[in-house]
């Protein structure tokens, strides 16, 4: 029996339980997965009191950075991007990893996007750092639009090869200079930027939000003729990578992805 959960706040909207339970059923594995509300500053206490219940945990806002301060072993990528979304327990010890970046790249590849000249990330939190790290050397230019300069150094540390620029948040943004825009902000945070999207836009928008959907930005993008990738794609592929880390079996990833995509789309309606 495998037990997992997703931790974060807010959490009631999360489709991670749907994803993981559907994967268990598809693979014929006995398992359970739940959603637990854990607010900022409460992760350590949650793990102290409930650690014995779980084999692995998924982390969402606002815990992806907080988990790095708990003293668990973290792989090299997680240390570099200073963001973790996966806790796995082996021999009663937790270790931290991140599947946000690998899941993001897999979602791009599924959409047929393999070459990127310039990308703009909206937001500068844990997901943004994971995406930034995954795009290093993939995109020639990586720009981040953040609301606080306090996160600039952490983002820069995730970059080794690409040209990086950090810009303070502004609604006066020219989307035409990018071929990929990634919204990593909480729901509604980027709505004011919708007015900067003009008809004929060529860039692809990858909005990591999947509920509520569509966001105002995604709707405007689509109305103006641009391509939009739904956040369900990131949820699914990062979840597949978590399952691959947790399960000791080989499975057909594409067959499972096709099944999960259908399940998630129905659940998100």
Catalytic residues: 64
Query: Which 3 state secondary structure label does DSSP give 208?
Result: coil
CA angle 248, 252, 253 (to 5 degrees): 90
String of DSSP letters for 47-63: HHHHGGG-SEEEE-TTS
Q: What's the CA gap between 203 and 38, in Å, rounded?
A: 36
Which helix (H) or strand (E) segment holds residue 132: the answer is helix 126-135
Task: Provide the sign of the torsion angle of the four alpha carbons 32, 43, 11, 248, taken in this order.
Answer: negative
Q: How far apart are the first and last CA of the chain?
A: 30
Q: Which of 162, 165, 181, 171 is nearest to 224 (CA)?
A: 181
- Other CB atoms within 10 A of residue 160 CB: 10
Q: Which residues are within 8 A (CB) of 258 and not within 5 positions of it... i.e. 6 or more apart? A: none
Contact 122, 145 (CB under 8 A): yes
Gyration radius from the chain CA atoms: 18
Helices 100-110 and 126-135 cross at an angle (nearest 10°) of: 60
Q: How far apart are CA 91 and CA 250, in angstroms?
A: 22
């Amino acid at each position: 029996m495998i037990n997992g959960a997703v931790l974060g706040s807010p959490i009631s909207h999360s489709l991670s339980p749907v994803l993981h339970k559907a994967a268990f059923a598809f693979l014929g594995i006995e398992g359970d997965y739940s959603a637990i509300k854990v607010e900022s500053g409460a992760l350590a206490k949650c793990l102290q009191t409930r650690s014995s219940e779980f084999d692995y945990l998924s982390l969402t806002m606002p815990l992806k950075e907080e988990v790095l301060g708990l003293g668990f072993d973290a792989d090299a990528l997680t240390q570099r991007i200073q963001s973790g979304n996966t806790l796995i327990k082996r021999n009663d010890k937790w270790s931290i990893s991140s599947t946000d970046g690998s899941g993001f790249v897999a979602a791009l590849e599924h959409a047929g996007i393999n070459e990127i000249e310039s990308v703009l990330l909206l937001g500068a939190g844990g997901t943004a750092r994971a995406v930034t790290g995954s795009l290093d050397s993939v995109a020639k230019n990586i720009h981040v639009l953040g609301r606080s300069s306090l996160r600039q150094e952490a983002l820069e540390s995730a970059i080794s090869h690409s040209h990086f620029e950090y810009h303070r948040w502004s609604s006066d943004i020219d989307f035409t200079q990018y071929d990929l825009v990634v919204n990593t902000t909480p729901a509604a945070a980027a709505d004011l930027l919708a007015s900067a999207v003009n008809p004929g836009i060529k860039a692809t928008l990858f909005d990591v939000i999947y509920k509520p959907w569509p966001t105002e930005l995604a709707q405007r993008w689509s109305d103006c003729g641009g391509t939009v990738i739904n956040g369900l794609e990131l949820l699914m592929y990062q979840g597949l990578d978590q399952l691959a880390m947790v399960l000791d079996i080989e499975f057909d990833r594409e067959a499972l992805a096709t099944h999960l995509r259908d399940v998630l789309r129905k659940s998100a309606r």
